[in-house]
Structure 1
Amino acid sequence: MKKVLLLDVVGLTTDALAHMPRLAELANRGRQTHMNTILPAVTCSVQSTILTGRMPREHGIVGNGWYFRGLGDAMLWRQHNTLVTADKIWDTMRREGDYRVANVGWWYAMGAATEVAVTPRPIYHSDGRKSPDAYVRPAWLHDELVGSFGEFPLFQYWGPTASIASSNWLIGAAQGLLSHRWSDDENDLTMVYLPHLDYAHQKYGPHAPESAEAAAELDASLAPLLDDAEN
């Protein structure tokens, strides 16, 4: 099996691709420039459909959260993999052979049967403070990532202060895994979540000059990772 790099470039559109020459070159090579999505077109639902090959009504992820009637509360961005009630791609892979999978930032990473998992996971202090951190498995990899790239930039990950910083951190983590920087283990499938473009669209609109700039910025950050993956 060839090694596969699976990128979730959230908010990617044909218009955005026009400002992303490195990614566009890859798409053109595969003759794939037409893009569709599912409904609801939100992160958790789409990712779960990609990973299971099933629609939200089948895998159960019908949005980025649920309203829990018993609690009278909406709970968003839950993180455990058992919420996805269908076989994932790594389940199918394991039935065919001894394959390794690395999840860098894709949602529902906690409890997933992947060899590597990296997902934002803040620390909540008793005085109400929230500190940036990430849940990382294997545990020793956490300190390697923080030592190389600093603490996960949680406050630049989403919301009004979202920036390229979080996508760059995830790209750096993926590059390290592909290059065996921390381990000689080879992953057959490396999945990387890149949120930067999505938040530019949300803040400025998908056709705004700022969104075009964000697309170009992300493409430049992605270029070294794509080069590593092809070599």
Structure 2
Amino acid sequence: MSKVCVINVVGLTQKLVEHAPRIASVGKAHGWQSPYPAVTCTSQATMLTGLSPREHGIVGNGWYFRDTGEIRFWQQSNRLMAGEKLYEGVPTAKMFWWFNQGAPVTWFATPKPYYGSDGSKAFGILDKTECDLTTELGEFPFFSFWGPKAGLPSSDWIARASALVMRRKRPELTMVYLPHLDYDFQRLPIHDPERVREVDRCAGMVIDAAEDIGATPIVVSEYGLVPVSRPVEINRALRRAGLLEVRDGPFGETLMTMDSKAFAVVDHQLAHIYINDVRCTAEVRRIVEDLPGVASVVEPGELQLDHARSGELIALANDDAWFVYYYWLDDRRAPDFATSVDIHRKPGYDPCELFMTSPLRAAARLLQKKLGMRYRMDVIPLDPSLVKGSHGLRPSDSEGAVIVGPDAPTDMRDFKAYVRRLLASSKVGPTGRQP
């Protein structure tokens, strides 16, 4: 059996590969079709199962759980995906890809903070690689993985950790996640080639390790980011129409999903619209369709999203627009989590977490933490106009998801079968060395 290494360079496009010589050395780059929405969890689930969202059930980075009334994002359980996974029966090292917890892999590492009973949080990772990664490499730079300080150190650490695991464990399949391009490409409208060169150096470390163990490297991305300038506030429009309910309280307003006639769970450029009162469906469609920045409102089946987890309607943004989760009408009544990096409590994706209101304020909050005082890291601005890049749709081949590898497929649903063929082939690694 041959060895394969899949490097997921988030945000890489065919147009950007020209600035990445190590990645380009792997093979010919071409665009491939992502599912709707073209977001991390849905795209990865499609690659891992070979199924569409209507079949594997990962309809976004998060969705509404109708039985509990909760909106939950960024769940890590491998059991949320239906279907046989790519790595089943293959000795695999899964490095920071999503759906790691409970995955039938031999080795893995993934972010996993510790939560105290008083609401405190300590950062850490789950390291099941048998390589003692934090001893070897130092603590994982959690603040560079997401939030206002997100940047190169996290991708560099993941690359070095992956190379270490590959050389020590020699897995048949290695899956590496490098998120670096996701950050500035959402913060800034211009895609700086230097960011590409930086992540190319990270990918190069992994490619070197793949060559050392005789593995064929493949580079993929889940989506390409496009410039945006128009935030679309679906939930505020539904609230003004009397369709969305909130509960006010000491920590701001809370979205009441079960009491609302309709609300939206937004995810970059696609939004699931959940309708509890079907008599309002036509009204909801009209309200959303009339919002500037909305390209269309469709039935889930039109996008292969007709799954029990999906909304009754799906909204798609214009190319230059994206959806904001905000449901309050007065920023003074925003929930306390709105100004924090709080990815699991927010009822929608919030790219404003990549920005900071004040470094001085953040320093003061960290001082409070060190002194053992109660504090809240309320440093995230409530200004969606700051966001300059998004994804979720299917742009042109040169600006959308890309795959780099020998005889690679043109559709993400074919990726599982493609990698299985490479694993079953008699080819040796790209250097010609036997593993």
| TM-score exceeds 0.5 | yes
Q: CA deviation at 1:8?
A: 1.0
Matches within 5 A, 1:205-216: 205=189, 207-209=190-192, 212-216=193-197
CA RMSD of aligned residues (A): 1.6
Letter in 2 for 1:23: I
Q: CA deviation at 1:128?
A: 2.5
1:151 and 2:120 correspond: no
Structure 1, unpaired ranges of 5+: none
1:66 and 2:68 correspond: no
Q: CA deviation at 1:71?
A: 3.5
Q: CA deviation at 1:168?
A: 1.1
Match of 1:230 in 2: 211
Question: How far apart, in 2, do the equivalents of 1:74 and 1:203 lie?
Answer: 25
Match of 1:79 in 2: 76
- Pick aligned residue for 2:185 from 201, 205, 211: 201
Q: Does the 8 Å contact 1:119/1:136 carry over to 2? A: yes
Match of 2:151 in 1: 163
Q: Does the 8 Å contact 1:14/1:35 carry over to 2? A: no
Tell me the SS of whatever aligns to 1:102: strand
Question: How far apart, in 1, do the equivalents of 2:56 and 2:71 lie?
Answer: 20
* Residue-by-residue CA offset, 1:60-117 (whole Å, 9 max, x unaligned): 11101111234333111011110011110122xx2xxxx3111000101000110011
Tell me the SS of whatever aligns to 1:152: coil
Question: How far apart, in 2, do the equivalents of 1:8 and 1:15 lie?
Answer: 16
Letter in 2 for 1:106: W
Match of 1:106 in 2: 97
Tell me the SS of whatever aligns to 2:31: coil
- Pick aligned residue for 1:123 from 91, 94, 114: 114
Aligned length: 212
Question: How far apart, in 2, do the equivalents of 1:32 and 1:208 lie?
Answer: 18
Q: CA deviation at 1:129?
A: 2.4
Match of 1:53 in 2: 50
More displaced stretch, 4-13 vs 71-80: 71-80
Q: CA deviation at 1:195?
A: 0.8
Q: Does the 8 Å contact 2:17/2:29 carry over to 1? A: no
Q: CA deviation at 1:36?
A: 3.3
Q: CA deviation at 1:137?
A: 1.8
Question: How far apart, in 2, do the equivalents of 1:215 and 1:195 lie?
Answer: 11
Question: How far apart, in 2, do the equivalents of 1:9 and 1:64 lie?
Answer: 18
Question: How far apart, in 2, do the equivalents of 1:34 and 1:60 lie?
Answer: 24
Question: How far apart, in 2, do the equivalents of 1:69 and 1:34 lie?
Answer: 36
Q: CA deviation at 1:222?
A: 1.9
* Residue-by-residue CA offset, 1:196-222 (whole Å, 9 max, x unaligned): 1112211113x333xx22111110122
Question: How far apart, in 2, do the equivalents of 1:118 and 1:224 lie?
Answer: 17
Q: TM-score, normalised by structure 2?
A: 0.47
1:192 and 2:180 correspond: no
Tell me the SS of whatever aligns to 1:215: helix
Report which of the two has the higher share of helix: 1
Letter in 2 for 1:59: H
Matches within 5 A, 1:27-38: 27=27, 31-38=28-35
Letter in 1 for 2:106: E
Question: How far apart, in 2, do the equivalents of 1:213 and 1:129 lie?
Answer: 37
Question: How far apart, in 1, do the equivalents of 2:138 and 2:122 lie?
Answer: 13
Match of 1:7 in 2: 7
Question: How far apart, in 2, do the equivalents of 1:111 and 1:187 lie?
Answer: 18
Question: How far apart, in 1, do the equivalents of 2:149 and 2:60 lie?
Answer: 23
Q: Does the 8 Å contact 1:12/1:197 carry over to 2? A: yes
Q: TM-score, normalised by structure 1?
A: 0.86
Letter in 1 for 2:101: M
Q: Does the 8 Å contact 2:114/2:122 carry over to 1? A: yes
More displaced stretch, 56-65 vs 148-157: 148-157
Point out which structure has higher relative CO (alpha carbons under 8 A, 6+ apart). Answer: 2
Matches within 5 A, 1:137-148: 137=128, 140-141=130-131, 144-148=132-136
